[in-house]
Amino acid sequence: MVFIIIFIIISKMEISFKGKRALVTGASQGIGRDIVKQLVKCGAQVIAVARNQELLGLKDVGPIDLLVNNAGLAILGPLTEVKEEDVDRLFAINIKSLINVTQIVVKDLLARNAPGSIVNVSSQASLAGLNNHTVYCASKGAVDAFTRATALEYGPKQIRINCVNPTVIMTDMGKLGWSDPKVAGPMLEKIPLRRFGEVQEVVDAVTYLLSDKSSMITGTCLPIDGGYLSS
């Protein structure tokens, strides 16, 4: 009897995306790759888009219930050295293609009168200034603002849209840039939990926001930052 009750509780806590179709951009590496794996594990049929080139051809993608806008690019350096082409590339990938894909998915959801959930991978850099990140910060600030405004516009149609705002995450790229203690030290000092994030910690937050467990949450920007923004 006891076993049966425990089993029921555990199975109720599981997130299932059975019968749902999900689209994930930036899916070839790092956070995106692991989001794809997790969604498949939860039973979703996943369309993984790796390159911006493929994004542009996204028309006949079929019905999509869940969207993760994860494609992103960072070009860093002091403002005085920023080139016009850097600004164009950052805004093209971090916000323009996100708007494009979101529009395609929202149109499809509206046409089917279906509920949906969309999660944008933003950054802590949208909510706090970081050295050498001026244009990157601006592009992620645009992601947050777009998320809020879209949530307002499509809430009445039961389309939820949120973003997650990770600090430095230990992807292969994150390890490359942040393994030197001289570089990492000053950043870690500002993170109350005194460590960088793990990929799975972003994947878990994205999964939660996509699922019905977050059914009353829309228009939010959820920091995954070990408390960085609270100081």
Ligand X SMILES: *[C@@H]1O[C@H](CO)[C@@H](O)[C@H](O)[C@H]1NC(C)=O
- Interface residues toward ligand X, by CB under 6 A: 30-31, 56, 70, 72, 77-78, 100, 103, 121, 123-125, 131-132, 166-169, 171, 174
Q: In what order do the strands lie in the sheet with 21-25?
A: 45-49, 21-25, 66-69, 116-121, 159-166, 221-224
User: Has 208 been annotated as catalytic?
Assistant: no
The CB-of-169 to ligand X minimum distance in angstroms stands at: 5
Q: How far apart are CA 19 and CA 30, in angstroms?
A: 26
Q: How far apart are CA 221 and CA 30, in angstroms?
A: 21
The CB-of-132 to ligand X minimum distance in angstroms stands at: 4
How many Cβ atoms are within 10 Å of 31's Cβ, its own excluded? 27
Phi-psi region of 30 (alpha: psi -120 to 50; beta: other; left: phi over 0): left
The radius of gyration of the chain from alpha carbons, rounded to an integer in Å, stands at 18
What letter would DSSP give residue 96? I
Q: Residue 184: exposed, middle, or buried by beta-carbon count in 10 A (0-12, 13-18, 19+)?
A: middle
> Which CB atom, from 70 or from 218, has the smaller least distance to ligand X?
70
Active-site choice (18, 37, 107, 136): 136
User: Has 136 been annotated as catalytic?
Assistant: yes
Q: How is 116-147 classified by DSSP, letter by letter?
A: EEEEEE--GGGTS--TT-HHHHHHHHHHHHHH
> Which CB atom, from 156 or from 185, has the smaller least distance to ligand X?
185
> Which CB atom, from 151 or from 169, has the smaller least distance to ligand X?
169
> Which CB atom, from 1 or from 111, has the smaller least distance to ligand X?
111
Active-site choice (20, 41, 107, 140): 140
Q: How far apart are CA 150 and CA 146, in angstroms?
A: 6
> Which CB atom, from 52 or from 211, has the smaller least distance to ligand X?
52
The CB-of-131 to ligand X minimum distance in angstroms stands at: 4
The CB-of-8 to ligand X minimum distance in angstroms stands at: 37
The CB-of-57 to ligand X minimum distance in angstroms stands at: 7
User: Are 217 and 162 a contacting pair, CB within 8 Å?
Assistant: yes
Which residues are part of the catalytic machinery?
Answer: 136, 140
